[in-house]
Amino acid sequence: MKDFDLFEKKLGLQFKNKDLLIQAFVHRSYLNENPEFGLEQNERLEFLGDAVLELIITEYLYKEHPQKAEGELTNWRAALVNAKMLTSVAEELGFNDFLLLSRGETKELGKARQYILANTFEAFVGSLYLDSGYQAADQFIKKYVLVKLSDIIQNKLYKDAKSHFQEQAQDKMGITPAYNVMKEWGPDHKKKFTVGVFLDEDLIAEGEGYSKQEAEEEAAKKALSVKGWN
C-alpha cells in the first residue's frame, strides 16, 4: 500500500477521513484486479471535484478581475482547468507516486497517463472538499492552480486552438463552430473519442483524444490548418 501519510506531509494537509484521500487515487482498473479492496474507484469524487474546482476558480476570477468581460474570464478559466494544466500540477505534486492502477495501466504512460492524472487531481479536490470543507479546497487551489494565472495571461496561453478557431470562424464567416462526437471506443476506464468540428453542415476536421475536450481541441487545431487560419 502507498504511504499516504507521506503525501499529506508533503502537501501540509491532514485528512480526518483517510479513506477519502485514498479513494481519490483509486483508478477503475485497480478494482478490476483488486475487487476486495474495500473502497470505490474515484469517478464520483472526480465529478464533485470538477465542480468545486470550477466554482473556486470562477469566484476568484470574478472578484479579482472586476473590469474583465465574461469572454476573457471564460478563456482564463478554461486554461486553468484543462487536462494539460491539471496534469502538470498533479505531476509537480507527485501524484504519480500514489496512483492505484492495474498492472497493465501502470505500464501505460503518455496521453493515457496524463488523462488519469488530470482526473485524479479533480477527484482529490473532491475528497479534500468533503473532508475539510470549502475553505481548505479554496486554499489548495489558490496555492497550486491559480498561481499559474499570471503565466497564462503573460504568455497568452488562454488562446487555445478551439477559442482561436471560433474567433476566426465568426470573424470570417459569421458562423460559430459546432462539435459532435463521431465515435467513442475502448474500455470505460480508457475510453477514446473522435470529435468532428463543423461549420454549418460542413465537416472541417476530426480530432481524437482521451476526453471529449481533448478531441475537440485536436479537431480545432486541424481545422485551423485546413482553413489556413493559423
Is position 50 annotated as part of the catalytic site?
yes
Residue 206 in marked binding region: no
Give me the catalytic one of 19, 36, 50, 184.
50
Residue 82 in marked binding region: no
Residue 59 in marked binding region: no
Q: What is the DSSP annotation of the chain?
A: ---HHHHHHHHT---S-HHHHHHTTB-HHHHHH-TTSSS--SHHHHHHHHHHHHHHHHHHHHHH-TTS-HHHHHHHHHHHHSHHHHHHHHHHTTGGGG-B--HHHHH--HHHHHHHHHHHHHHHHHHHHHHH-HHHHHHHHHHHTGGGHHHHHHTTTT--HHHHHHHHHHHHHS---EEEEEEEES-GGG-EEEEEEEETTEEEEEEEESSHHHHHHHHHHHHHHHHT--
Distances (CA, A) of 6 to 9, 28, 37, 93: 5, 23, 21, 12
Is position 122 annotated as part of the catalytic site?
yes
User: Per the structure block, which three cell numbers stand in for 64?
Assistant: 479579482
Give me the catalytic one of 5, 54, 122, 202.
122
Bind-site residues for Mg(2+): 46, 119, 122
Indicate the annotated binding residues. Answer: 46, 119, 122
By annotation, the residues acting in catalysis are: 50, 122
